[in-house]
Chains A and B, each alone.
Chain A
Amino acid sequence: MTSSVGEKEKFVLVRQNLEEAEKIEKKSISFWGDAFYRFRQNKLAMFCVFLLLVLVAMAIFVPWFSKYDYDTNDLMNTNQPPSAKHWFGTDDLGRDVFVRTWVGARISLTIGVVAALIDLLIGVVWGGIAGYKGGRVDEVMMRIADILNGIPYLLVIILFMVVFGQELWTMILAMTVTGWINMARIVRGQVLQMKNQEFVLAARTLGASFNRILFKHVIPNAMGPILVTLTLTIPSAIFTEAFLSFLGLGLNPPLASWGTMANEGLPALEYYPWRLFFPATFICLTMFALNVIGDGLRDAIDPRLRK
C-alpha cells in the first residue's frame, strides 16, 4: 500500500482548534425528558394510561346520560341477564347494573385517589421533616411510625369502621390512619439521600435558604419514587374498600361502590354471575392498570435499565 503521488499533499499538518474538542460529543437529555421518553416506549403502560382515562371518562359521563338512575327499582325485572335493554343485566331489585357499575366507579376511584392523596400529604410532611431535621426529631418520629406500623393495617381499618360507622369519610379516614407510613418512609429516605448530596451542600454554601433548597432541589429529585408510591397506593386503597365490603363493613345502601356490588353479587354467584362479574372485573382492571403504570414509572425513572 504505497501512497500514490497525489496523496503526498495529504501529509501535511492540520491546524486544529483543540479547545473545540472539549465540547461534549453527545447531546445531553434532561432527567425527566429521558424518563418520559422511556415511559412512552413502554407500550403496555401507555395502553393502561389510555384504559384508565376511558374508565374515568365512563365514570363521569355514563351516569349523567343514562336513562336509569343507580337506585331506580324495577321489581318486575329483577335479576335479568345482560341484554340490549340492560347491558350489564339487573340486580335483585331490578336496578340497572351498568349504571350502578359506573356510579360505583366514581365512588371506588374517589376513595382510592383521595386516600392516596391524604397519605401523600401526611407522608411528605412527616417524612420530610424527619429526614431533614435528623437527629432526635427523626428518631422520635420514626419510632412512632414504627410502632403504628406494627399494628396490622386491615385490623385497624376494621376496628375503625366498626366504631365510627360505615360512611364514605370514615372509610377514607380509616385508610389513611396508618397508610401514610409507607410514603413517609420513602420521602424520608429521599430527603436523607438528598441531604448528603453535594449539590445541596453547594447550594447552602451559596447561601440558599431552607425553602429554596427544599423546593428547587430536594423535591424535584425525590418526585420519582414519590410518584411511583402514589400510583401504587391507589390500587391498594381500592382493594381495601372492596375487602371491607366483603366483610360487611362497606358503604351503606343504596350507595354502591364496586366492592359493595361485588359483595351483594356473591351469594347469587351460581345463578346470576354477572352481578359479581362486572364490578369484580372493573376492580381488577383498575388495579391492574395502576400497577402496570406504577411499574412503568418505576422502570422509567430508574436509570439502571434492566433490559
Chain B
Amino acid sequence: MLKYILRRLASILLTLFVIVTITFFLMRIAPGNPFTSEKRLPPEIEANLNAHYGLDQPWYKQYAQYLVKVATWDFGPSFKYKGQTVNDLIADGFPVSLYLGLEALLIAVFFGILLGVFAAVRQNSWIDYSSMSLAVIGISVPSFIMAAVLQYIFAIKLQWFPIATWGSFKHTILPALALAMMPLAYIARLTRSTMLEVLNNDYIKTAKSKGFSERVIVYRHALRNSLLPVISYLGPLTANIITGSFVIEKIFGIPGLGAHFVQSITNRDYTVIMGVTTFYSIILLLAVLLVDIVYGLIDPRIKVSAKEGV
C-alpha cells in the first residue's frame, strides 16, 4: 500500500511539472504584454516595471525562477490588482469556493446514491423510469444553464432565495444545487446500473438462498459492492465541481476563487491565471490520489493481496 502511494505521488509531481511548464510557455506565447491594456506608459517606466517583475530576463531564466517560486508556494504578484499577490487572491477566494464545492459534492453524492439504489431495487417501476428520465435530463443540462433557470424561477420569480452574492446559508442553496445537479444525475445512473449488475451476481443468489430479506441483501451485501465505481467517480467529480464553480460563481456573484479566476482571464492577468491553474491542478491531483487510497481501503481485493492466502 505504501509503495503504491509513493508511486502515485511521483506520478503527480511529474504531471504537475508538465502542467507548470505548459502554462508557463503558453503564457509567454500569449499575445500582449501584461501592461498593454493600460494607458500607454513612457518607455523608461515600462522598462522599470519589466525589470521589477523580472520580465526582461531571458526565458529560460524566467522559467527556472518560476519553477523555484512554485515549489516554494509563491505564485507571484497579480499584474492587475496592484499590491495583491496571487497567494492573497487564493487565500481570499478559496475558502468560499471550498464551502460551495463541498456542499455541492455532498448533495450530489448523497442524493445520487439514494436515487440510484431506489431505482435499481424497483427496476422497471414508475419510480425507476421517472427518476432515470430526470437523470438523463440532469446530465443534459449544463450547470450554468441550470443556474440561470434556478435563478430565474426561484430567485427572480418566486423570490424564495436571494438572487446573488454571498452571506448566509440561504445564499448557498441555489448555487450548490446548480453545481450538484449534473453530478447527482450521473451518480444516480451509475449507482443504478452498477447495482443492477451486482444484484445479478451469484453471491446475491447465495444471500437470497440464506433467506435474507430484500432490504438486508441490498444494504448489507449489494451496496458496498455497488459503491466502488461511484468512489472512482469522485475524482472527475471534483474536477467537474471546480470548473463548474467558475461560471456558477460568476452568475451568482459569489466572491470565490472561480470568480477571481474568470476575472483574471478577462483581464489577461497572466500570473494569476498561471498560479490559479497550478493551484487547481494540485488540488485535483491530490483529490484523485485520495480517492484511489479510499478505494483501495474499501475493496479488500486491493487491500489484501491474494498472495497472502490460498
A53 at the binding interface (Cβ < 8 Å): no
CB pair B15 A243 closer than 8 Å: no
CB pair B246 A280 closer than 8 Å: no
Q: How far is the CB of A174 from chain B (nearest CB, A)?
A: 11
CA distance A254 to B284 in the complex (A): 36
Q: Which of A150, A155, A249 contacts B243 (CB 8 A)?
A: A155
Interface size class of A (residues with CB under 8 A): 35 or more
Give a binary string over B245-265; 1 marks a CB under 8 Å from any A CB, 0 the rest: 011001100000000001001
CB pair B18 A163 closer than 8 Å: no
Q: How far is the CB of A15 from chain B (nearest CB, A)?
A: 46
Q: Which of B26-75 contact A (CB under 8 A)?
A: 26-27, 29-31
CA distance A235 to B145 in the complex (A): 14
Q: Which of B140, B156, B277, B284 contacts A159 (CB 8 A)?
A: B277
CA distance A154 to B124 in the complex (A): 37
Q: Which of B26, B139, B193, B280 contacts A163 (CB 8 A)?
A: B26
Known A-B contacts A147-B14, A163-B30, A248-B266; A280 and B196 likewise in contact (beta carbons under 8 Å): no
Q: How far is the CB of A34 from chain B (nearest CB, A)?
A: 21
CB neighbours of B242 from chain A (8 A): 152
Known A-B contacts A248-B262, A280-B148; A150 and B26 likewise in contact (beta carbons under 8 Å): no
CB neighbours of B144 from chain A (8 A): 242-243, 246
Q: Say what secondary structure dominates the interface of chain A.
A: helix
A68 at the binding interface (Cβ < 8 Å): no
A162 at the binding interface (Cβ < 8 Å): yes
Q: Say what secondary structure dominates the interface of chain B.
A: helix
Closest to B283 in A: A152
Q: Which of A147, A150, A287 contacts B140 (CB 8 A)?
A: A287
CA distance A146 to B273 in the complex (A): 24
Give the size of the chain B interface in residues (CB under 8 angstroms).
48
Closest to B270 in A: A162
Q: How far is the CB of B106 from chain A (nearest CB, A)?
A: 22
CB pair B139 A291 closer than 8 Å: yes
Known A-B contacts A163-B30, A247-B265, A292-B136; A273 and B142 likewise in contact (beta carbons under 8 Å): no
Q: Which of B11-26 contact A (CB under 8 A)?
A: 11-12, 14-15, 18-19, 22-23, 26
Q: Which of A160, A283, A291, A292 contacts B145 (CB 8 A)?
A: A283
Q: Which of A76-126 contact B (CB under 8 A)?
A: none
B281 at the binding interface (Cβ < 8 Å): yes
A307 at the binding interface (Cβ < 8 Å): yes
A158 at the binding interface (Cβ < 8 Å): yes
CB pair B265 A158 closer than 8 Å: yes
Q: How far is the CB of B258 from chain A (nearest CB, A)?
A: 10
CB neighbours of A12 from chain B (8 A): none
CB pair A163 B27 closer than 8 Å: yes
Q: Which segment of A193-201, A217-225, A262-270 sits at the interface? A: A262-270
Closest to A148 in B: B18
A251 at the binding interface (Cβ < 8 Å): no
| In the A-B complex, the 3 residue pairs with the closest CB atoms | A288-B140, A150-B15, A287-B140
Give the A-binding residues of B (Cβ under 8 A).
11-12, 14-15, 18-19, 22-23, 26-27, 29-31, 123-124, 136-137, 139-142, 144-145, 148-149, 151-152, 156, 193, 196, 239, 242-243, 246-247, 250-251, 262, 265-266, 268, 273, 277, 280-281, 284-285, 288
Can you report 16 A-B residue pairs in the complex whose CB atoms are below 8 A from each other? A150-B281, A151-B18, A153-B239, A158-B265, A159-B273, A162-B268, A162-B273, A243-B247, A246-B144, A246-B251, A247-B262, A248-B262, A248-B266, A249-B265, A283-B142, A295-B136
Give the B-binding residues of A (Cβ under 8 A).
146-147, 150-156, 158-160, 162-163, 165, 235, 239, 242-243, 246-249, 262, 266, 269-270, 273, 276, 280, 283-285, 287-288, 291-292, 295, 306-307
